[in-house]
Structure formats: structure tokens, C-alpha cells
Amino acid sequence: MSTLSSKVMSFLEASKGFLRDPYEPNRLFAKGCKIEGVYLIVSKGIPLFRTEGVGDVTLLTVKEADQEYTVPAILPEKIQAKIRRQMLEILRGNVADDLKQVIKKYRNLGFKKVEEDGSWNCYIAPPLSEGGTDIGMCGFCPSCTILGSMITDVELEDAGTSYGLKSRVQHDIAFAATVYERAVSDLTHTKVGDGISYTGMALFEEPHILPGVCFIGKIVLSDVTMREAKIVLSSLTSIARMGAGETKYGSVQVILLGLKAGRHESISSYDIVRHVLSETKGAYVTPEEVLKHTIDYVGGRGFNLLFTSDINVSDIESNVDLSTEDVKAIWSEDNYSYAKQILEYVRKVHPARAKRAQTKGTREEG
């Protein structure tokens, strides 16, 4: 186990009071168990972080003392979508025959997106690609129950309702610690349609983030079990590419710097970036400098630090490990008991609708 992984494990062991027990009744209901994580997204290529279309980068202005700093930002939905992709990759990569036996049990609960032999897939697809509200997600896998999903008749036998599973992972905006003029470079490209790129098409410019620019983010894990916390942190730290055109531009490194457990959230990425900007004045400084100011700030606010402030980011082993055993246990214990509670809840809250749907079905058949 890497040094980072063992530090994360000791933190989680010591924070059991703020983690849920896999078999606890009423685990669906929030109890104010929060794990906050502060991390850096370090640009290692020339990523594109934009809101819509070509030619813009998401920008936000932050006021600190008598200065205004306009900085690039990464919106929470981008981070959440990337964590979901990473988690699905981890989950799929661990599906073997013995795990299929476990996944088969979800079919017996009434979940529909699992084959008879326990073959399973869950994926992000644009709405309407399969018709109706179906967006490809299965509604019952660890990624769906932790990061949120919809449960309708498409996902669950006789659901009779549409139940929104709220994400138990929340995010702050990730603010860059460098002002726009120094963080971005306009590069000219040819239109692409393809493998990497080809020439001879229209030219256009895009504002790219320079290598070394750091974004400061915060994640909150609410009412998760210890293993659920591990899979989320493992997914977050395994992100190595991000943004539009990530196949060629988007190399990044995500460095989880500190964790804190509590009954409520105690800090926001906004607070941290203001502190860092007050030190750097928005200059294009090294990632080590941003890391040092971030660690100084959160270390003084009760965060359990995972790195010291004198490290070189290029030498950091930043992945939180997750074993195959952990993945199996999430499917068979933590997530299975949670999925069962979802089912009980849906049946209890919508018994009339579920029953009506059944009667209607019978009448049509008759």
C-alpha cells in the first residue's frame, strides 16, 4: 500500500463516527456525516476547460482585499462526471465470474439492467439515445447509489414512480490560483474529427490552460461507508485527463491534500483560493507554491494533511489504492444493503402507484 493510501486508511479508521455502517437501518436518510477533502488539479498538458462550444474558458472573478482576480474555473458537474467515469472503469475492471454471482442478486431485487448470468454494465449516455428518459445508467450499482441516478420502471420492476437518488458526493467549484491572462494561451487548431488530428480543414483558436496551473477543489462525502469513501477517493485521485479534447490536451494530476471529518462542512474552495491569491497575487507560480499555501491554510483549519508542504508534485504518488477485495465487498455488502433499502423505500412510499401499474398491466393483458 502506498504511503498516501495508508494515511487515508488511518484517517478513515479514526473517523468512524462520521462514516455510516453498511448494515445500519435507514441509511438512506442523511445524518450529517461529512468527510471533506481538499485537492489540487494540476494541469500537466494544455487542457480546455470551457462551458459550452469553442472559444471560451469558464472564468470567475474573486475579490480579495482591494484586488479583483479573474481566474479560470472548473465547474462541479465536470468533476462529478469524471469521477463517475473513473468509478465505472474501476467497477467494470473488477467484474469477474465470482462477482457476477453477487451482481445477479440485484436482479432478484427487481433491478432490470443486469443479465441473467450477472453480466452488468452502467454507462453515461446522452439522454434520449435509448428512448425516453433512459440515459444508460443502471440505478443500482455503487456508482449510481453513491453519485446519484434515477430509478423508474426502466431500471426497477414495477417501480411505479420516478425516484431521484441524490448524489452523496458534493463539490465546490475548482478555482485556478492563477489569473486568466497568465493561465491561458490561445492556440490555433485545425478542425478535428478523429484519431488525433488532421490538416486541411478550417482553422480556429482555443484558450488552453498552461501546464503547471493549479485548480483548488473541495469534495464532500456525505453519509458514506468507509469502503464507499475509499472508492470515491480512489476514483478522484485516478483522474489523469480532463476537459474537452482530453485525448490529446487534457493531462492533469489530482492531488488529494487533506481530509477532515465532521457534522457539517467547514471550508470552501473559495476561502482557500482567496488565501492563495492573497499570497501569490494571481501570478503564474509553480504547483509547489500553490500546494504549500493550500496546505498551510487547511492545515490550520483541522484538516488531516496527506502531504508535507516541501514536496515536488512530479514526485508524488497521488493515487489512493483500492483492492479487488474492497470492490467485491462494496457490491456484496455496502451497496447491496443500500439497494435493498432503496427498494423498501420505493415500495413503501409508492405502494398505490406500483399496485395501479400492476393492475393496469393485468387489464391490458386480459
Chain residues that interact with Zn ion, rule: CB under 5 A: 122, 137-138, 141, 144
Nearer Cβ to Zn ion (19/138): 138
Q: How far is the CB of 154 from Zn ion (least distance, A)?
A: 12
Q: How far is the CB of 100 from Zn ion (least distance, A)?
A: 15
Nearer Cβ to Zn ion (147/306): 147
Q: How far is the CB of 121 from Zn ion (least distance, A)?
A: 9
Phi-psi region of 242 (alpha: psi -120 to 50; beta: other; left: phi over 0): beta
In angstroms, rounded to a whole number, what is the distance separating the alpha carbons of residues 303 and 295? Answer: 9
Q: How far is the CB of 124 from Zn ion (least distance, A)?
A: 10
Cell digits for 232? 470515491
Q: 6-9 — which CB contacts under 8 Å span 24+ positions?
A: 7/304, 7/306, 8/230, 8/233, 8/256, 8/259, 8/306, 8/320, 9/230
Nearer Cβ to Zn ion (136/211): 136
Q: How open is the CA angle 53-58-63, to the nearest 5 degrees?
A: 160
Nearer Cβ to Zn ion (318/335): 335
Nearer Cβ to Zn ion (5/145): 145
- Among all chains, which residue has been given the C-alpha cell 483492492? 323
Orientation of helix 226-237 relative to helix 3-14, angle to 10°:
150
Total residue count of the chain as it appears in this document: 366
Q: How far is the CB of 222 from Zn ion (least distance, A)?
A: 19
- DSSP notation for 196-207: S--SSS-EEEEE
Cell digits for 173? 467549484
Nearer Cβ to Zn ion (73/122): 122
Q: What sign for the dihedral angle of Cα 53, 56, 57, 63?
A: negative
Q: How far is the CB of 103 from Zn ion (least distance, A)?
A: 11
Q: How far is the CB of 138 from Zn ion (least distance, A)?
A: 4
E strands of 100-173, at which residues? Answer: 149-151, 163-165, 169-171
Nearer Cβ to Zn ion (36/228): 228
Q: How far is the CB of 87 from Zn ion (least distance, A)?
A: 9
Q: What is the residue type of 85?
A: R
Nearer Cβ to Zn ion (227/260): 227
In angstroms, rounded to a whole number, what is the distance separating the alpha carbons of residues 143 and 137? Answer: 9
